[in-house]
Amino acid sequence: MANYILSGIMGLVVGDALGVPVEFQDRETLRRSPVKDMRGYGTYNQPPGTWSDDSSMTLALLDSLKKGLDYEDMMDKFLAWYEEGAYTPHGEMFDIGIATSQALRRYKEGANALETGGQDEYDNGNGSLMRILPILFYLQKEYEFNFLDYDEAFEIIHNISSLTHRHKRSQIGCGIYISIAHYLILEKNLEEGIRKGTKKAFSFYRSKTGFKEELEPYSRLEDPYFKDLSEDDIKSGGYVVDSLEASFWCLLNSQSYEEAVLKAVNLGKDTDTTGAICGGLAGIFYGYDNIPETWLNKIVKRDWIEDLCKEG
């Protein structure tokens, strides 16, 4: 299990760090000057290997889950990141989504942890999807490798999304992602893992009133020809559906960790988050040893992150 934790989390962090310097750049700009290596400075004027809120919140969640499932503790750790710079590369938070900042404000003002996330249709950014990966390892440990057969496992995924993003569309995005991540561990064939993970999640959500109505935005993921869509048909902004599609499309159209995350980052716009979401899955499938060592060496606080992945 520890190997998959290390592979997935470091895969996510590296993908995030690759995207940080070029966040918000459009696709045409990146076609002229594509990301090929670990850059520095750029958008946030941060040195090479600097990771953003995607990784910070993922690491905070990973740390919290070591002590068990405690939603208030998760929010406390998110708040420590937001206010005190905990779980950051340089001791200071420099990037946060609107929905996440609003949720943390509600929590600080006394709202219940599971009621802080926005639940309007316009609250479907990718801010819970980008940090959801650690719950995979918790669920595999608690429910073993058939955890997707349990409704309560999906409920836990949805609850963790709800800390910042409570709309069912965001919850579904997290559920599909965790289902696919799980099958990428079980399957040796990437396309088969994505197909089985998608099928398992869609089967669950089609059986649940309130969720089945929100599946339509994700319908392209079931298309057997989704892989064959052109890059121009793939969006890479901050909308949860777009981020999920972009990540899977990059995985399906690459043959290595390096190729997958570079393809994700070079889609432009929300580069760090697309890189992180894709990187977590690519790390799980291809393994830690297939993440370029030159990239790993540049990751700020690499040793601390790797120790966090190995503890507990």
Residue 312 reports pLDDT greater than 70 = no
Of how many residues is the chain composed?
A: 312
- At the topology level, CATH places domain 2-310 in ADP-ribosylglycohydrolase fold (1.10.4080)
The domain ranges of the chain are 2-310
- Confidence at 144, pLDDT banded by 50, 70, 90: confident
| Residue with the larger pLDDT of the pair 179 and 144 | 179
Mean per-residue pLDDT over the chain, rounded: 96
**Residue range 146-168, pLDDT digits in tens:** 999 999 999 999 999 999 999 99
Geometric angle at alpha carbon 296, from 292 and 300, rounded to 5°: 160
With 60 as the cut, is the pLDDT of residue 246 above it?
yes
- In this prediction, residue 310 has a pLDDT band, given cuts at 50, 70 and 90, of confident
pLDDT in tens, 53-104: 999 999 999 999 999 999 999 999 999 999 999 999 999 999 899 999 999 9
**d(C-alpha 45, C-alpha 21), whole Å:** 7
Q: Which candidate, 103, 114, 111, 48, places its Cα nearest to that of 81?
A: 103
- Residue 193, pLDDT above cutoff 60: yes
pLDDT of residue 145: 85
Phi, psi angle pair for 132, to nearest 5°: -80, -20
